[in-house]
A and B are shown apart, each in its own frame.
Chain A
Amino acid sequence: MPAFGSFALLVALALSGYNLLAGAVALRQLATGRRGGISPEKLAETARRAGIASFFATACAAFALVWAAFTNDFSVAYITEHSNRALPAAYKFAALWSGQEGSLLLWAFLLSAYGFVLRARHKVDVKLTAYASTILAGIQVFFLLLVNVAATPFSLVTGAVPPDGNGLNPLLQYPEMVIHPPMLYLGYVGFSVPFAFALGALMMRYPGEKWIHITRRWTMVTWLFLTVGIFLGMHWAYSVLGWGGYWGWDPVENASLMPWLTGTAFLHSVMMQEKRGMMKSWNVWLIFSTFMLAILGTLLTRSGLVSSVHAFAQSAIGTWFWVFLVITLAVCLFTYILQRDHLKTEHKLESLVSRESSFLFNNLVLLAACFTVLWGTLFPVLSEYVQGNRVTVSAPFYNRVAVPIGVFLLFLTGIGPLLAWRSTSLRSIRRNFMLPAIVGLVVAIAIIPLGVHPWTIFTTDGQGAFYAWITFAMAAAVLTAISAEFFRGARVIQGKSGQNLLASMVELTHRNTRRYGGYIVHFGIVLIFIGISGQAFNQSHEQTMNYKQSFKLGPYRVECLDYSQDSNPNYDTEFAMLNVYRGDRFVTKLAPELRVYAVNQQPSTIVANHSTLVADLYVIYAGKDPATGQPVIKAFLNPLVAWIWIGLMVTILGTGIALAPNLSAAIAAQRHRAAVQAEPVPAGRAGD
């Protein structure tokens, strides 16, 4: 099987190489009008087919590695390092992306899968797709070169084949780890497609904005994958790492956030290009930057340039990524300089108080957030270069610098959709903003007695509560504004159709899925902001516990019922059985664990969490007190965390709706007519 996998990778590289070369020659011939022995159309078609075939070859290689994991083929060095016999089946599948070589193979496989769909759907626009396919083939060649030369997943062990492997990192033995990396990679890799379309459209001086229509769904789906990937990672960190939080501003986390921020900016600013023919250069550079940030993130963490708890050991592939990044930047710059006159804006901004300017500011703030994250990630390297010593840039820096930017973004989330295109009248501002402003103000005052004190900004122990206060007030205003938009639209439909308000809202959403789906996404993002703000009120308690001993944390009393230990072939475990009471009322039973994996003696905490909409009671088994042998229990009370996950669900729903096609007005009118005709004629009016 390793030989089959290696061969499949070689074939994939050859096919992608052919796609790149033949595609480039064909497109050149088409552009210049010069023809060779084979017609450029035929040559382009063979290139497309080679691209499709490269997907099957890469899929075979990925299958070969998974097969090797499932059959415990420890002759493959990668399998020896990342799997073992006792590893449950689902995690053997996850072994594919648990190491550097495997994750690069996954990257190459997903890229070829995206390429397969793109090339199969070439009839959308044959010439533009040919350009995009060739550019994508270039990216494929890079990743396939990596897995064929620099990080080969099918290398064989030297000497005798070991009877068992080293096993999977215990931290990765968690259900979300089977989903989180593929989702994240689908997001990273997916941005290659809009990048390829944008670069292709620029190269061929594509007339009009159709390329944006073509790539809109690609971009949204990719953005959704990246969003889900990031949040699954947060949930995994929260559930597995056991430090009570979900985001540690680690360079790898930052690497995923940066393309998300620029991708979000792109999703907003392309609307300006679609609707008003503005910001063309900006959009092209936004998608170029998004793609390059995805590559840069990988470079930062794999080259050993910045230290990260996630980072793979420093390896030579960092140089490969540097070279690839420089080539990509050079190609983008060269194409832009050559074709920039094609990107002249058709309209200018007419008013500061307009939808266009809100998009502009939204983009500015998103880019400022992205720069802050990049700056914080790279500052240790800069400091070493300038001062001769590294510094750490972690949570306190981001909390002070990035949080205010986030709050500003929340503000723009609220006001942007309420502004009209071109210019907004004072009357319209008054009508749209009065109610949200009042609600925001009422909430701002109402939450002060509940302990959300804005004056913490003047204290020495952090400004968390101040930002939480602003966020809650602003979130209330934004949610009101969004609800009012739905309500206003639904009332109009209700007036015309006579449906109830809920049905009218559904129809309203169906009539303009993009707009109202977008509002629902904003709704979800606001919920996420609310959830994150709860962090300012976290409480914790640590105690060694004997039988029947208890402690209080917030409204809960945690009592130790029992503690014990157990074993299975994969790991030994110590755990405590805890009863949780609220007053005298029994709430739940929690059993935090500490596992020590047999194969590598690595410990891992299994968190016990009682989650409600108000707060999570998050309990970890921190070890045994060496003096007494009793368990040390650490408990956190984390308010509002559940709203982060609820917000994610709402965001997924909103994106799904925005991706759905509109119900055309004609169909809607037809439905109403049919509904009116189907209604029985009232008895008193018969014969009128």
Chain B
Amino acid sequence: MRQLTRLALLPLLVVLGVATLGSADTEARYNDLGHKMMCVCGCSEILIECNHVGCPDSDRMLAELRSAIAGGGVNDAILAAFQDKYGPTVLAAPMLTKFNIVAWIVPPALLVLGLVGTFMLVKKWRLRAATMPVVEDDAVSRELRERIRKETEV
């Protein structure tokens, strides 16, 4: 039993191990957060990718981001601070708060619903097909099958 518990814990340890291995350093965090925000000058570009000449905002915002990371803030707090200062459109994607959760949930939920619906539909069709009488394997049906096979070959 104890051995089984150890075996069950093994995947968890592996997951924790690799998660720790992948913990982000400052530069990676700067890059990650820079990709999660938009430049506010109106160019509609991701903050860290904003490259238009003479942009009045991106350099200043990136400097603010660097100092926020150096200040030891966690990612969500930094994003929230930027949102407070520049408004919700500064975030490149809605945060998981209030109504914004809907943005994230609806597409995968619909896909899952569609998949389940399709499975059920096919199952229903198959049940109907199963009640059909079995046709004897005579020469006519063999010929018919061969014709269908040829016709349905893409």
Contact = CB atoms under 8 A, between A and B. Distances in A.
Contacts of A367: 114
Given A243-B51, A389-B87, A275 B94 contact: no
Interface stretch (B2-10, B65-73, B122-130, B134-142): B122-130
Contacts of A404: 108
A455 B15 CA distance: 8
Given A460-B24, A603-B53, A392 B129 contact: no
Given A275-B152, A391-B103, A518-B154, 16 more contacts: A308-B44, A348-B125, A371-B110, A375-B107, A394-B38, A395-B92, A395-B93, A396-B92, A401-B104, A401-B108, A421-B153, A455-B18, A461-B31, A603-B52, A620-B51, A623-B54
B21 A393 contact: no
Interface string B72-91: 00010000000000011111
A405 interface: yes
B88 A349 contact: no
A271 B154 CA distance: 8
A395 B45 CA distance: 10
Contact of B126 (A309, A351, A375, A455): A351
Interface in A438-467: 453, 455-456, 458-462
Interface of A: 241-245, 248, 250, 271, 275-276, 307-309, 348-352, 355, 357, 360-361, 364-365, 367-368, 371-372, 375-376, 379, 383, 386-387, 389-397, 400-402, 404-405, 421-422, 453, 455-456, 458-462, 512, 514-515, 518, 594, 603, 605, 620, 622-623, 634
Interface string B89-128: 1111110001110011011101100110011011101101
Contact of A391 (B28, B36, B94, B128): B94
B152 A348 contact: no
Given A309-B43, A515-B154, A394 B122 contact: no
A392 B22 contact: no
B81 to A, nearest CB: 17
A401 B103 CA distance: 10
A350 B122 CA distance: 7
Given A250-B44, A605-B51, A401 B99 contact: no
B32 A349 contact: no
A395 B35 contact: yes
B110 A368 contact: yes
B46 A393 contact: no
A461 B24 contact: yes
Contacts of B32: 460-462
A393 B114 contact: no
A634 B15 CA distance: 37
Interface in B6-60: 15, 18-19, 21-24, 28-29, 31-32, 35-36, 38, 43-46, 49-54
Given A245-B49, A383-B100, A396 B93 contact: yes
Nearest to A364: B114
B76 to A, nearest CB: 10
A406 to B, nearest CB: 12
